Amino acid sequence: MSEPMVEVVGVGRTYGTGHGAVHALQDVSFTVAPGELVALVGRSGSGKTTLLNVVGGLDRPDAGSVHVAGTEVTALDDDGLVRLRRDVVAYVFQTFGLVPVLSAAENVGVPLRLRGLPVAEREHRVQLLLELVGLAGHTEQRPGEMSGGQQQRVAIARALAGSPQLLIADEPTGQLDSETGLAVMALIRAVVEAEGMTAIVSTHDPVMIGLADRVVRVADGRLVDA
């Protein structure tokens, strides 16, 4: 058997101290296999976002360890975390996070610019990704000229630009209507397969859970079903 893409062991995360302390995560352990799409499910405040942030190196746990693609994320210094987020892990958030003054193509190309990719290679990759997410005819449009669903598709294309091994999506359909949201989730399912990625996606929508290979449920900072 291959090594897990993600291995979380005994992770805990507490915010604050004393009586006001919030135990966001408590002794969380699970693994995600390469190529697997996992749905992370739980009510608001259950610890889903904290768990995603810890896995992706955006937050540090108080206890336990996290390995991604064989690297111990919890042991990395700041420079190591920057490289992890640039080369291994990509993120999609419900707020899209696009640069308003840039076109769709320019937004998708930002990670490739940061890598110093040659212009011709960058433009080819951007075009392929916009075709993959169904936006080949919208390359010059800016975020303000696009619907919420289109903006989220651009955000997904941008996340895929650097060919990440792990895609982390935190409520990626939270600001979309149910029909558009389902289309975006189906797109994530398709690009995971097309790009050979692993993905962890948090979601509230039970309809979307059917697209995942496996469901991990979180309640009060603990795993209740993995």
- Could you tell me the domains of the chain? 35-58+85-225 (3.40.50.300)
Strand pairing category for 63-68 and 71-72: antiparallel
Q: Please check the confidence at residue 2 and state whether its pLDDT lies above 90.
A: no
Among the ranges given (21-25, 75-79, 92-96, 103-107), the one the predictor scored with the smallest mean pLDDT:
92-96
Which pLDDT belongs to residue 174?
Answer: 83
Confidence of residue 205 (pLDDT cuts 50, 70, 90): confident
Among the ranges given (78-92, 142-156, 179-193), the one the predictor scored with the smallest mean pLDDT:
179-193
Confidence of residue 90 (pLDDT cuts 50, 70, 90): very high
Which pLDDT belongs to residue 84?
Answer: 93
From edge to edge, which strands make up the β-sheet containing 22-32?
22-32, 6-15, 63-68, 71-72
* Residue 44 burial (C-beta neighbours within 10 Å; 0-12, 13-18, 19+): exposed
Rounded distance between C-alpha atoms, residue 102 and residue 155, angstroms: 12
Query: Is pLDDT larger for residue 203 or for residue 76?
Result: 76
Average pLDDT of the segment spanning 10-32: 92
Q: Please check the confidence at residue 43 and state whether its pLDDT lies above 80.
A: yes
Q: Which spans in 115-163 are helix H?
A: 119-132, 148-160
Which pLDDT belongs to residue 67?
Answer: 97
pTM: 0.89
